[in-house]
């Protein structure tokens, strides 16, 4: 891919483990022209650090002489770096199809263990807007106690506290991203509201400008998933809340 099509739009699902995110991913992929890839272990966070380092070097040093400790910094272009990284991520990770109009990914690694504080989280989310101009953020949350009982969390004695903090941060980020980037750029959905009620998702999808196929979303939400080592949570819910 030499360059991203000018009309290609971007989406990311921002969430945490056992919130129904894989069902949400399936519902998005059921929409015409939409491709949302799964998790990537937060791979793009490393790109954020890389771009920040290049930008700081270009901003503070302008050396063109080989005898200078910052030799070559005068010719650095952070914008060119971001453009090259966009092409790289699109061609190697996201891989849009010829008929793709929306491309994106979901990630669950947003807990405090991955981001030191809220500012760190917001900084990364804003970086995604530089990498993918116009990206929209779909924040997906679930009741912390319900999520803590489900799947991956029983071995973590601080799970409820960790998930409550993460939920609060994602809610705050939705507000801040909307304030900073404008309406229609970020939306918050709650698994406890949309599970069994796909019309909640179709309404939110519409506010983000996504293509519409209500029947396909309804089928995706109603399909039982069977994945991972914990297919049934402590309350006896069927698998599919990853």
Task: Tell me what pLDDT residue 231 has.
Answer: 44
Q: Cα separation of 142 and 190, whole Å?
A: 6
- Residue 79 contacts by C-beta under 8 Å, 6 or more apart in sequence? none
The secondary structure of the chain in percent helix, strand, coil, rounded to multiples of 5, reads: 45, 10, 40
pLDDT of 229 reads 43
Nearest of 10, 9, 15 to residue 139 by alpha carbon: 15
Q: Which residue has the tokens 């503070």?
A: 60
Those residues with Cβ within 8 angstroms of residue 133's Cβ, 6 or more apart along the chain or in another chain: 10
- What is the per-residue pLDDT for 14? 98
The rounded distance, in Å, linking the Cα atoms of 218 and 238 is: 17
pLDDT given for residue 237 in this prediction: 37
Q: What is the predicted pLDDT for the residue at 226?
A: 58
Handedness of CA 193, 160, 45, 52 (dihedral sign): positive
- The CATH number of the domain covering residues in 9-48+102-221: 3.40.50.300
pLDDT at 37: 98
**Regions in the chain scoring below 70 on pLDDT:** 1-4, 151-155, 224-242
């Amino acid at each position: 891919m030499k360059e991203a099509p000018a009309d290609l739009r971007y989406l990311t699902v921002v969430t945490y483990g056992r919130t129904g995110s894989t069902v949400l991913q399936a519902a998005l992929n059921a929409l015409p022209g939409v491709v949302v890839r799964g998790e990537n272990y937060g791979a793009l966070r490393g790109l954020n650090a890389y771009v920040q380092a290049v930008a700081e070097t270009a901003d503070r040093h302008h050396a063109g002489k080989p005898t200078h400790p910052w030799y070559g910094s005068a010719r650095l272009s952070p914008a060119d770096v971001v453009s090259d990284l966009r092409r790289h991520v699109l061609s190697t990770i996201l891989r849009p199809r010829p008929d793709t109009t929306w491309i994106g990914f979901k990630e669950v690694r947003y807990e405090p263990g991955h981001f030191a504080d809220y500012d760190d989280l917001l900084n990364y989310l804003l970086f995604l807007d530089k990498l993918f101009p116009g990206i929209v953020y779909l924040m997906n949350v679930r009741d912390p106690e319900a999520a803590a009982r489900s799947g991956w969390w029983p071995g973590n004695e601080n799970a409820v506290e960790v998930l409550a903090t993460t939920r609060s941060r994602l809610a705050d980020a939705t507000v801040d991203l909307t304030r900073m980037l404008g309406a229609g750029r970020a939306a918050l959905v709650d698994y406890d509201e949309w599970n069994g009620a796909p019309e909640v998702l179709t309404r939110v999808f519409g506010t983000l400008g996504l293509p519409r196929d209500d029947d396909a979303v309804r089928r995706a939400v109603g399909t039982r998933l069977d994945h991972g080592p914990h297919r049934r949570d402590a309350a006896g819910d069927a698998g599919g809340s990853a």
